[in-house]
Amino acid sequence: MAVKIGNIDVGDFPLLLAPMEDVSDPPFRALCKENGADIMYTEFISSEGLIRDAIKSTQKLDIYDFERPIGIQIFGNNINSMRKAAEICEAAKPEFIDINYGCPVKKVANKGAGAGILQDIPKMVAMTKEIVKATNIPVTVKTRLGWDENSLYIVEVAERLQDVGIKAISIHGRTRKQMYKGVADWTLIGEVKNNQNMHIPVFGNGDVDSPEKVAEVKDKYGVDGVMIGRAAIGYPWVFNEIKHFLKTNTHLEKPTLQDRISACKRHLQHSIKWKGEVLGIAEMKRHYTNYFKGIPHFKAYRIKLVISYNLEEIMETLDKVAVEFEGVKF
């Protein structure tokens, strides 16, 4: 049965690419879309930055038709600023606006934004209500189980957010206090999904790093889809691998070295097209290690890729990698 966010059909069991700061930009999203991601989100955008027209924030509003359906994700601690930011986002014509109530990092949470708002549920509900009222497109939420182990109110919170008009919720199976440590607990995500009062899609997130894990949480907790973050970094093939496994109960062949080099080159080219050669090359540096993880004695090539600012030189280095490590198994 097709899952819908508002009136938008997102498929039977959609795979969502998590919004990750400094990762989920258009070049990375392009590769994930090519490899089976169903729903995209922008990197999270500061509401204060948007309403002040800060370049770093407004640039993150860039979305492209090939990415659809896509949501623009915003964060902040001021209700009025968040409402105005939502209006700005709507003008960029995404399919939906997503509110970040899950980011655990200190500089965000300690100001009462992101997961910080989990310490003030009435404000969280009030903010959500205002954002829903301010826009004509579906509003969704990404959040966590609670602030800490003593405030695991997600079942009640999800229902209250639904009552003020959100059209889907994505839940990470950790508290803010846990950050990304320990093991994600999907039990409460399952309770949200199985709450008879819930009628919006419930997506789960946390430690989804293999097709088997997705099959397990789908069957055990009944979620409507899963959101994938860290498992996709340097490995956009994860989406199609999951889809293939859910359909056939068999594994796709792993990407070869040539597949990785080809993806890396495309990522770099997308990056340059979006940000220009100098910045595009600079921002690609953080991705090389992830694409070639598992290759023994790769350090010299990684250093060469990272220190080079010349596109031709980088392409030559990648071609040398293809020759030097031909036949390597991952």
pLDDT of residue 271: 95
Tens digits of residue pLDDT in 298-310: 999 999 999 999 9
23-45: average pLDDT: 95
> How buried is residue 209: exposed, middle or buried, by Cβ count under 10 Å (0-12/13-18/19+)?
middle
pLDDT of residue 136: 96
> How buried is residue 72: exposed, middle or buried, by Cβ count under 10 Å (0-12/13-18/19+)?
buried
pLDDT of residue 200: 98
Cα separation, 30 vs 14, whole angstroms: 17
Cα separation, 83 vs 212, whole angstroms: 40
108-116: average pLDDT: 90
Checking if the pLDDT of 56 tops 90, the result is no
Buried b (16+ CB within 10 A) or exposed e, 22-53: ebbbbbbbbbbbebbbbbbbbbbbbbbbbbee
Q: Please check whether residue 135 is in contact with residue 90, taking contact to mean a CB–CB distance below 8 angstroms.
A: yes
Q: Which two tokens stand for residue 236?
A: 């956009």
pLDDT of residue 301: 95
162: amino acid identity, one letter: Q
- Alpha-carbon radius of gyration of the chain: 20
pLDDT of residue 54: 79
pLDDT of residue 122: 96
Checking if the pLDDT of 12 tops 80, the result is yes
Rounded percentage of the chain residues whose pLDDT exceeds 70: 100
> Which 8-state DSSP code applies to residue 39?
B
CATH label, 4-248, candidates 3.40.50.800, 3.40.640.10, 3.20.20.70, 3.10.20.520 = 3.20.20.70
Phi, psi angle pair for 168, to nearest 5°: -170, 155
Question: pTM of the entire structure?
Answer: 0.94
> Which 8-state DSSP code applies to residue 74?
E
Average pLDDT, the chain: 94
pLDDT band at 110 (very low <50, low <70, confident <90, very high): confident
pLDDT of residue 78: 96
Strands (E), the chain: 4-5, 8-9, 15-17, 40-41, 45-46, 70-75, 96-101, 139-144, 168-172, 202-205, 225-228
Q: Which two tokens stand for residue 87?
A: 């209006």
pLDDT band at 134 (very low <50, low <70, confident <90, very high): very high
Residue with tokens 């359909």: 247
pLDDT of residue 316: 97
Cα separation, 4 vs 7, whole angstroms: 6
pLDDT of residue 107: 87
260-269: average pLDDT: 96
pLDDT band at 328 (very low <50, low <70, confident <90, very high): confident
257-324 belongs to CATH 1.10.1200: yes
Half-sphere exposure of 260 (CA within 13 A, CB side): 26
pLDDT of residue 57: 82
Cα separation, 215 vs 218, whole angstroms: 5
pLDDT of residue 87: 95
pLDDT of residue 59: 83
Checking if the pLDDT of 176 tops 80, the result is yes
Checking if the pLDDT of 330 tops 80, the result is no
Cα separation, 104 vs 127, whole angstroms: 19
Cα separation, 184 vs 311, whole angstroms: 40
- Tell me, yes or no, if 264 is annotated catalytic: no
Nearest to 153 by CA among 132, 136, 171: 171
Checking if the pLDDT of 166 tops 80, the result is yes
Tell me which of 32, 89, 103, 264 is the catalytic residue: 103
Cα separation, 204 vs 142, whole angstroms: 10
pLDDT of residue 170: 98
pLDDT of residue 257: 95
21-40: average pLDDT: 94
Residues 6+ apart with CB under 8 A from 301: 292, 317, 320, 321, 324
Give just the sign of the alpha carbon dihedral 203, 207, 208, 212: negative
Domain boundaries, the chain: 4-248, 257-324
Which of the pair, 61 or 243, is modelled with greater confidence?
Answer: 243
Which of the pair, 115 or 131, is modelled with greater confidence?
Answer: 131
202-222: average pLDDT: 96
> Which 8-state DSSP code applies to residue 137?
S
Tens digits of residue pLDDT in 141-152: 999 999 999 989
Tens digits of residue pLDDT in 16-26: 999 998 899 99
Residues 6+ apart with CB under 8 A from 74: 44, 45, 46, 47, 50, 82, 85, 86, 89, 97, 98, 99, 100
